[in-house]
Structure 1
């Protein structure tokens, strides 16, 4: 592989911002220091722009196989790279659902052939595939995904005995979608009676309410504590759940961790009036009072990771009436810019953005030699120009679905270069697909 020298960068890494050069060779970071004099096949003068570790998104839905009218691994990986996301972990509710080791291997095969970003895939759990789940290799697969509430797809695990066995026997991290199905069904029946076919997305946080989230998250935490399971609860959306999580021990020592997604930090229920089904997602974007409390829990380390839950649907699918419109929104191209914008508004420091989007996912999932800018680590790097604006518009959106709830947003920074495993995969609006991403490995 070729060599790369990045000069005159302001590196944001491990809680420090400093000026430095970075030299990469054969996919890895070989040297970090000022005034590096090595010759390299590619030299990038950062001109004082920010250099970050590549963002690791631990929750995306890239829709392949079976739902490729919405997206493909290839299309969404390109969108990720355009936004500085160098590694992703993708969910099993594709078609067919990834409930066997053979189907899991098939997804890895697709990514090996098409993904510009580094990749891993969750093994799916169901009410009747425990034997297959227990065959999963902790060193080559990011985790087990359990839907403790139904979402897009049909992978609800609602058998109490099965949940008990999975939590008791799992040799690796379990990631859960926590919403209580009984509560949601009762709420949906009530609001169907009240609104009928005239319902709008404004009732979504009432149907999928705080009670549904807390009841399910509490069950997951109880099971994890009982069996000492390594539990990671995805997309926390309510202030009610925050007491479940601890900030008194370092992340690497936690057995129970939690994630917050960018849309739950950026939007609130007041935005349904403007965006409607475009921000319909599960768990729902909730009332405004939840958002500042999610931010506080992120800053004080009760919430460990920032992710996207990127979940694209076609424009036409989203234009259906509320009850028929699918849940999910496309976000993987813009999470870093969203958080850098929040930093410019004083909500979070640049160092904390890098911690929660780069370092913490690597630590939480024990990813081998990624998530940090360190000598000997994989060269996953992002250059950001803090003075160049980015306009979210149809002609810049890389998603196959070709829309974003952020359209019209002007960010005060721009991703100029993304380096994936030592390869300059994206530079100033252009992709280089000649070298693809790598399969993530885990030091477990």
Structure 2
């Protein structure tokens, strides 16, 4: 049986409001919220001057297990997630072997059950020839089906038109897509190779994986979804041009087509390649300031629904290669809340909207069972945040297995003091408690 905890005198951020009061957790769930609460036998946690936030739900991470565990694994990256206030993650199928069968998918769930300190779900992978396996996916216990409509991950590229028609017309649950047009990218690669040979500069990445490549693929996905009334979720939108594909005139719960933006596309632009180089090389590419600056207004007016990370670690050694050798992907899951807090401190977004986009909206979008809110009767996924404490990112406090971050040396204001995962105090005062792992996420579909 889980312990009983009583958070005292916190500032509770939930459902568009900030209110003062206590919060009681019992047997893994939130029992009471607000006002003065008395609970004999409860472990009291002083939240005076601190914020209580719903745990962050990151709907797009790559934790590299199985098969790529020299970069990361579910244990290490879920610890990093929890240290940053991410209490639930949804992990992608492009591992080795990729999760293209129900048996391989369940293998990942077994690893998650044994080693994930955060709550977990794993996407079923779609390939060009596994529709029968995809259709066996249980929508109540699996977050969604992932379709790579671009060659970001090599052997998981789905480029057969008939296969895409089959997926969009027959899959009853959420389909999440990576959208970049392969033909456009190949054409651009050829042009830059002709000009530079193998010494293509890193600054060329957003010109190779360009705006047009993103738009051609995402608009095609939207057309298919409209044709078949598919529940489509497009990941990591990075361009101004794509924003017109999405609606903001209806509530999120009524949308059939939704979109996500990632913290690195909000935070970085192509000017930073000169300093950071391959550290910010990712797919879709970090693009110029015009595209970066268009994303924030679309986030605030609800054309973009969710903030995520696309956490994708590689070793430092791998990242030192030339353009064609350095892999794409950035480790971000530990620092995503701090990035958004920095935007808040600049006056660009309220705390309430941060919680909406990182906790409430993912829960709505994926129809999650009792997650994403500090509501009575919901799972106790809670962040205790000191909004005034400053700290600097360095090797000693990076929890990614890869051991590096593009934010090294950067000072953030706002520190996660504790993270509760399904009623278990998994992280407190920079220490982990691994006595209990996270829960498998469930979906009310």
TM-score category (smaller protein): over 0.9
Note the C-alpha offset of 1:291.
1.4
Residue 117 of structure 1 aligns with which residue? 118
Note the C-alpha offset of 1:184.
0.3
Q: Note the residue ranges of structure 1 that are not aligned, 5 or more in a row.
A: none
Q: Whole-Å Cα distance in 2 between the matches of residues 218 and 40 of structure 1?
A: 56
Q: Whole-Å Cα distance in 2 between the matches of residues 41 and 327 of structure 1?
A: 47
Residue 284 of structure 2 aligns with which residue? 283
Residue 71 of structure 1 aligns with which residue? 72
Cα distance 1:153–1:419, how it changes in 2: closer, same or farther (>3 A)? farther
Note the C-alpha offset of 1:40.
3.8
Query: Does the alignment pair 1:146 with 2:131?
Result: no
SS at match of 2:389: coil
Residue 304 of structure 1 aligns with which residue? 305
Residue 216 of structure 2 aligns with which residue? 215
Residue 413 of structure 1 aligns with which residue? 414
Q: Whole-Å Cα distance in 1 between the matches of residues 110 and 77 of structure 2?
A: 16
Note the C-alpha offset of 1:48.
2.0
Q: Whole-Å Cα distance in 2 between the matches of residues 390 and 48 of structure 1?
A: 18
Residue 257 of structure 2 aligns with which residue? 256
Q: Whole-Å Cα distance in 1 between the matches of residues 438 and 5 of structure 2?
A: 17
Conserved 8 A contact 1:152-1:326: no
| 188-197 vs 39-48, greater mean Cα deviation | 39-48
Residue 392 of structure 1 aligns with which residue? 393
SS at match of 1:151: helix
Residue 362 of structure 2 aligns with which residue? 361
Conserved 8 A contact 1:369-1:378: yes
Note the C-alpha offset of 1:42.
1.9
Q: Whole-Å Cα distance in 2 between the matches of residues 295 and 370 of structure 1?
A: 25
Residue 165 of structure 1 aligns with which residue? 166
Residue 295 of structure 1 aligns with which residue? 296
Conserved 8 A contact 1:152-1:327: no
Residue 374 of structure 2 aligns with which residue? 373
Note the C-alpha offset of 1:14.
0.5
- In the TM superposition, what are the counterparts of 1:127-206 in structure 2 within 5 Å? 127-206=128-207
Q: Whole-Å Cα distance in 1 between the matches of residues 46 and 400 of structure 2?
A: 29
Conserved 8 A contact 1:19-1:48: no
Conserved 8 A contact 2:19-2:34: no
- In the TM superposition, what are the counterparts of 1:98-117 in structure 2 within 5 Å? 98-117=99-118
Residue 92 of structure 1 aligns with which residue? 93
- In the TM superposition, what are the counterparts of 1:308-323 in structure 2 within 5 Å? 308-323=309-324
Q: Whole-Å Cα distance in 2 between the matches of residues 232 and 21 of structure 1?
A: 36
TM-score after normalising by structure 1: 0.99
SS at match of 1:412: strand
Residue 63 of structure 2 aligns with which residue? 62
Q: Please identify runs of 4+ aligned residues in structure 1 that moved more than 4 A.
A: none
Residue 403 of structure 2 aligns with which residue? 402
Note the C-alpha offset of 1:212.
0.3
Q: Whole-Å Cα distance in 1 between the matches of residues 154 and 393 of structure 2?
A: 29
Q: Whole-Å Cα distance in 1 between the matches of residues 424 and 43 of structure 2?
A: 10
Q: Whole-Å Cα distance in 2 between the matches of residues 305 and 386 of structure 1?
A: 22
Residue 440 of structure 1 aligns with which residue? 441
Query: Does the alignment pair 1:431 with 2:432?
Result: yes
Q: CA RMSD in A?
A: 0.6
Residue 336 of structure 1 aligns with which residue? 337
Q: Whole-Å Cα distance in 1 between the matches of residues 311 and 374 of structure 2?
A: 25
Q: Whole-Å Cα distance in 1 between the matches of residues 434 and 170 of structure 2?
A: 41
Q: Whole-Å Cα distance in 1 between the matches of residues 199 and 292 of structure 2?
A: 28
Residue 20 of structure 2 aligns with which residue? 19
Note the C-alpha offset of 1:199.
1.4
Q: Whole-Å Cα distance in 1 between the matches of residues 423 and 310 of structure 2?
A: 26
Conserved 8 A contact 2:338-2:414: yes
Deviations 1:264-291 (A, max 9, x none): 0000000000000010000000011111
Conserved 8 A contact 1:22-1:29: yes
SS at match of 1:386: strand
| 83-92 vs 403-412, greater mean Cα deviation | 403-412
Residue 239 of structure 2 aligns with which residue? 238
Deviations 1:390-442 (A, max 9, x none): 21110000000000011111111101000000010000100000011000000
Note the C-alpha offset of 1:153.
4.0
SS at match of 1:120: strand
Q: Whole-Å Cα distance in 1 between the matches of residues 226 and 139 of structure 2?
A: 20
Q: Note the residue ranges of structure 2 that are not aligned, 5 or more in a row.
A: none
Residue 126 of structure 1 aligns with which residue? 127
Conserved 8 A contact 2:50-2:386: yes
Note the C-alpha offset of 1:100.
0.1
